[in-house]
Structure 1
């Protein structure tokens, strides 16, 4: 230690002072240094590691061997080599031999890569041999064959769990699922049931391990096979195929619910939950109407229950799937004006649900139902020509149009209001286009209600003229109410002014040319007097509201 005040020798380097983070200002959270980003290895780096080539060769060899055994079975059937029983016995012996060699190799740490590949290949061979014995040669009843296949896959996954190898578990389910259609000679309901056995066998592993590739490998093939089986049959009344499709949906939803309760963000479980009902809905397309509606509605009810039971992303996906199933049930059961009215009513119901439980996906579903119902109404059930032109409509058609128009009015008011309450839509002064579009639809619906009601009360052209007079007068009266109520509410004031403009445009562009006689005189007099009264009254209210501000405190 040098003495205080001693001069350091030439070339001496003073130590750097320690880095001190500046203290944050009062009330500010402390600033911690951002963690360094985790660098992921590229594919080339992974392949360049020592031992990567041997692992890759082992797994490729196992896949090629499995495919060769499948091709050998198919060729033996085509050319009549051996008999059915020797083929089954040879396949079982070969599979057991591969598993035995894999178990022996696993004792040596250097041979475990080959052990995984051999064990996965052997288990897949045993599984495919069981399918052949059940479906091709009928040595085993279907129930017994399914039980044996389930036991084989459970044993393979138990081995993967014991060795703690997610790669082995994934290879087992993929080897069984990918090659099974070659044995069953296409996509059939029987194939779907065997694939469901593979998926059910993964249940204990899913509850204890987060092996996402294995879950995908076990869950996606039954759904695809069920859809392909339905399109391959393409005929109504196939209850075997329908039962397989329902089974695929039930198993998929059930396992997804179990997995998401333990791991709410599991991507594989969420994917299966979203897609599980697809085979059932596809199968319903090929059933008679009553059965198709029952199947789709049942799927909607089950998924709605799952939506209520689960939270977060899982509940939202179940709710979206339930809305899709409900939409299919609706369009299958109803047609014509009834279909349009029910879709709009469901849109209104979903909007109210979104407001009550504050769920964005319910609001999106209400918007989707409203768009479809609105397009149907615009094109067939309540077209613009119904307002613009007088035609001798029947009472039934007018009543249906009146109901549809009322629902359009209700949905046009409820949707933007709920979206604003949920924070998805700004005030009319900041986001004008959505509000203007909703206001146009609300006016369209309100005009339809007034006009169709007038035609029902006064059949013929008289009802048409009276209806349009009432439409213009009601718009101006509503504008007066909104302006009066909107003295201190900018949104109501804006809507009222827009409504005044709409009434004036209708007066000039439509009423002046379409109406005649006393109807034209009445509509101009009534609208003009109301607008005069509105202007006078509104001016007084504005002056009264401004007077206290001028006086000041």
Structure 2
């Protein structure tokens, strides 16, 4: 035995220990990788994501499944080498732990697509180009205006040369726009050139008509209208709302400055322009063009109706404008191929008509104009039923009915003109809306009726002094009684309509309306007996008797409510008790100190007798209810019960 054999044995022992240690390290690393993969799978919301990641780990050469690495040594077989076609595991860095293998059958890993970088706002849809075009158009127009002003001051050119140069410049700009439009990506530049040319043409017409006065106003407006129509046709061919807005808005803003002294002619021109440019919206969703058509004309006609001396002609223009706006809106709502108009412009369409109605000296003529507006709006609302999914701004019935409620209220106020019958007319109007809402069962109509009813409640507060103060008993008139009765009926109809049409507001709102109606029943009794006292030349005595009568009537209504409650109404009993308590409170706190003589005696005696009758009747009715026999069982087929116990044997 040589000296080298112990050394070799020691080396083999060390190699065996090192191989065993490496195997344990690989085993621990595999366990850690499995735990990590399990935790990752549990933390992920979608289980498919963990499967894709595991398949990616299995397929990637950077993540090879670890195995125990055998160490070549004495007494140990050499490890099996990878066969042909099988990839060799990549070298593993020290301390790197490999995840477990992915289950078989998982789909291949698809790397996520990188999100495209967000486009800066100044590069979206050619915003910078559009901004430069708009600024360039404005600066060019300012330069043209400065050129004309300088030529006039210095006398460089004669008037004819200035006008001709302006016309040639406008034609050149529009021609250049047509040429630029034919090039690729030349739309924005063409729009800027065309808008500048149209605006230059308007300035030229302004110079001919207003500054030099070469042509009369009608001829100048016809020329401006032709320019606007040409611009609109060009805008439709290019499918550019911006160019159409420039063409229409330019002439709409120029006309008041040109024809300020001829307001009626200017208003008629703007009305014709609004009607002539409406077909430009057919097949297009150009709501900005609609605003450019309607708003300037509405504002000018409103100012014209308010300040012009010929209120009749201004009123006629206002009526025609309202008919135009409402007719186009109704056509857009009824015919699918026509452009749907903005319902929010309906109040704008009747604004000049309202101004004309207020400017008329005769109140009945003004009320008649408001009635015409109301009838037009109700007619449009009855025919324009919006389809499913209609946006809010296009819902014509809602806007039309809301505006109709406002115009009808203005008609009532204009007819009353601050006179004594104004509350009566207003209450009658509210009652008409409430009855219509109940008959038609239409929610929007009911909402309008409720809004007008709230205003009627505020107006009815003016009747309270005549109900409470004895000193005003001489001033009580029939109109006060009619208004009080009308308010009572209004509350009853509204309560019924809310219960039928808007059950979401029940039962709170109907109960409040019924309570108000009961209170105004007492007020109506006071006013009625006061008027009777005036007939016998004793209004104060009639007022005193009316207060006693109101207490008695409230007590009688409370008795009716209690009887109704015994018949099955759960609300009637607490309502009757509350009204009885209110009557007793009025009797003790108001009538005791306010009434005197026979009225006080009668009110207390009658109220006491009613309370006794109510108590006795309520007790008897309750006793009858308790003693009533139970209802008979429902008749039906008789079923023999199954025998209990053993069945006897048959013979």
**8 Å contact kept, 1:237–1:287:** no
Determine whether 1:254 maps to 2:311: no
CA distance in 2: counterparts of 1:383 and 1:48, whole angstroms: 68
Correspondence for 1:319: 401
The alignment partner of 2:167 has SS state of helix
Q: CA deviation at 1:189?
A: 4.5
Match of 2:176 among 101, 126, 129: 101
The alignment partner of 1:200 has SS state of helix
Alignment of structure 1 residues 355-394 onto 2, 5 Å: 355-379=438-462, 382-394=463-475
Correspondence for 1:538: 618
Q: Deviations over 1:70-105 (max 9, x none)?
A: 565677778887565544433322221111110111
Inter-CA distance 260–71: structure 2 relative to 1 (3 Å threshold): farther
TM-score computed with the length of structure 1 as normaliser: 0.82
Correspondence for 2:493: 414
Determine whether 1:13 maps to 2:75: no
Bigger RCO of structures 1 and 2 (CA < 8 A, at least 6 apart): 1
Determine whether 1:222 maps to 2:304: no
CA distance in 2: counterparts of 1:369 and 1:49, whole angstroms: 49
Match of 1:349 among 432, 451, 463: 432
Q: Deviations over 1:149-172 (max 9, x none)?
A: 333222212211212223332333
More helix by percentage: 1
Correspondence for 1:522: 602
Determine whether 1:303 maps to 2:377: yes
Q: CA deviation at 1:266?
A: 7.8
Q: CA deviation at 1:416?
A: 2.5
Q: Deviations over 1:251-288 (max 9, x none)?
A: 32233223333469988521222321012212332221
Inter-CA distance 227–401: structure 2 relative to 1 (3 Å threshold): same
CA distance in 2: counterparts of 1:67 and 1:322, whole angstroms: 45
Match of 2:355 among 266, 278, 282: 282
Q: Deviations over 1:358-406 (max 9, x none)?
A: 2233223223333333333322xx2334334254515xx4211111110
**8 Å contact kept, 1:70–1:183:** no
Correspondence for 1:478: 557
Correspondence for 2:513: 438
**8 Å contact kept, 1:177–1:195:** yes
Unaligned runs of 5+ in 1: 1-7, 19-40
Inter-CA distance 60–141: structure 2 relative to 1 (3 Å threshold): same
**8 Å contact kept, 1:192–1:225:** yes
Worse-superposed segment, 221-230 or 409-418 = 221-230
CA distance in 1: counterparts of 2:262 and 2:503, whole angstroms: 45
Alignment of structure 1 residues 118-133 onto 2, 5 Å: 118-130=193-205, 132-133=207-208
**8 Å contact kept, 2:370–2:408:** yes
Q: CA deviation at 1:63?
A: 2.9
CA distance in 1: counterparts of 2:260 and 2:157, whole angstroms: 20
Superposition RMSD in Å:
3.4
Q: CA deviation at 1:247?
A: 4.0
Worse-superposed segment, 161-170 or 399-408 = 161-170
Unaligned runs of 5+ in 2: 1-58, 66-99, 108-116, 387-394, 634-651
Determine whether 1:462 maps to 2:462: no
Inter-CA distance 88–538: structure 2 relative to 1 (3 Å threshold): farther
**8 Å contact kept, 1:259–1:269:** no
Alignment of structure 1 residues 120-159 onto 2, 5 Å: 120-130=195-205, 132-134=207-209, 137-159=212-234
The alignment partner of 1:109 has SS state of coil
Alignment of structure 1 residues 15-164 onto 2, 5 Å: 45-49=120-124, 51-69=126-144, 85-130=160-205, 132-134=207-209, 137-164=212-239
Correspondence for 1:508: 588
Q: CA deviation at 1:489?
A: 1.5
TM-score computed with the length of structure 2 as normaliser: 0.70
**8 Å contact kept, 1:351–1:366:** yes
Match of 1:272 among 345, 361, 371: 345
Q: How many residues align?
A: 513
CA distance in 2: counterparts of 1:77 and 1:198, whole angstroms: 31
**8 Å contact kept, 1:177–1:221:** yes
Q: CA deviation at 1:307?
A: 1.7
Correspondence for 1:493: 573
Alignment of structure 1 residues 186-265 onto 2, 5 Å: 188-230=263-305, 234=307, 236-239=309-312, 241-262=314-335
Determine whether 1:400 maps to 2:483: no
Inter-CA distance 168–80: structure 2 relative to 1 (3 Å threshold): same
